[in-house]
Amino acid sequence: MQPMIVAMQMCSGVCADENINQLKQLLLKLPKTRPLLVCLPESFLVFGKSGQDALAVAKQSDYYQQQLSALCRLHDIWLAAGTLPISANNDRYFAASLLFNSSGEVLAQYNKIHLFDVDVADGTGSYRESNFTQAGENVVVVDSPFGKIGLTVCYDLRFSGLFSALQRQGAEVILVPSAFTTVTGEAHWQPLLKARAIETQSYVIAAAQAGQHENGRATYGHSIIISPWGDVLSELANGIGFIGCQPDLNQLHAIRRDMPVQSHQRFREHLL
């Protein structure tokens, strides 16, 4: 059976256990196709009122990783666990995206590189991820039955150099778990995702948070899957649920062969 990738849209709250229960209910509705990769949004495990909430969960990260591992085995799925907080040094945590295989093994950990320290004209107003989050340093690409997977998180989307680095390392499918604000989402979400897909000639899978959250924040939703040609293959505007696609890597390789933009690249950014 041709491999399938699913992007889950969630509305996570401040309680990690309740968010795990929301995930369990969604997993019961998965398609029967295997192998299957399930992609979760940023902050799926805890969408707290402050960084202190995430720090508290980070101290229990092993416990929650064990739960996620068990869910992979139970449902025979690969899982790209959006972000969950994992303890770093100096009372900070990594916004870590973990990739599990269907045996529940963690194959990779990507720590969010670009931190969202911005002012936005919304109900929250000011965001300072660096107050509690330790920035990552490594570009991560992983072999899988779904193609070579490149890992990013949310605000990374605005930095094309990271995506170019992923493509140079062989990425064919790039994941963008996100919790975009409604203001920035309405303005930039789809244009940026399309641009990254077209530039890298890769599938882009963006699982998003959606709706009004317990912590007072509002997120844009619009989980989306985009082809290497820039076509929107599937999108879920609002609500909790999921969308899916079966990547055609032969088509991807044909696009790269017919328009070999990477070999034409005259600028080679050095990233980390």
Active site residues: 42, 112, 154
DSSP, res 1: -
What ranges make up the beta strands (E) of the chain?
Answer: 4-9, 36-39, 78-87, 93-100, 106-111, 117-119, 126-128, 141-142, 149-151, 173-175, 203-206, 210-212, 218-220, 223-226, 232-236, 241-245
Q: Are 67 and 108 in contact (CB under 8 A)?
A: no
CA dist 234 and 36 (Å) reads 16
> In which residue are the tokens 């032969």 written?
250
DSSP, res 239: S
CA dist 152 and 93 (Å) reads 17
> In which residue are the tokens 């600028």 written?
267
CA dist 72 and 90 (Å) reads 32
DSSP, res 156: G
What's the Cα-to-Cα distance from 219 to each of 183, 185, 214, rounded to whole Å?
A: 9, 8, 11
